[in-house]
Structure 1
Amino acid sequence: MTCAPVPYRVVRARTETADTVSLTVAPAGPSGLPPFAPGQFAMVHAFGAGEIPLSTSCIDGPELTHTVRAVGAVSAALCRLRTGDRVGMRGPFGTGWEVDRAVGGDLLVVAGGIGLAPLLPVVDAARAAPHAYGRLNLLVGARAPADLLHAHRLCTWATSPGPPHCLVTVDRPAPGWRGRVGVVTSLLNGARFDPGNTTAFVCGPEVMIRALARDLVHRGLPPHRVRVSLERTMHCGTGHCGHCQLGGVLLCRDGPVTGWDRAAPLLSVREL
Structure 2
Amino acid sequence: MRTVQTALTRTVWDELIAELPVGVVLMDAHGDVLAGNRLAADLLGLRSEELLSGRRPLGWSVRDDSGARLPNRGEIAAQVLRTGAVLTLPVVVVRAGWPHVQVWVECHPLAVRGAPRVVVFLQPVHTDVPHSRGLLDPLTGLPGRALLHDRLDQALVRARTHGTVVTLVLVDVHHLAGVNEEHGFARGDELLTVIGGRLREGLREDYTVARYGGDEFAVVAEHSCGSGEAVAERVRELAGRAVRLAHTRIRPGVRVCWVTSDGAAPVYSVITHVEDLLRG
TM-score by length of 2: 0.27
Q: TM-score, normalized by length of structure 1?
A: 0.28
- Higher Rg: 2
Q: Larger % of helix: which?
A: 2
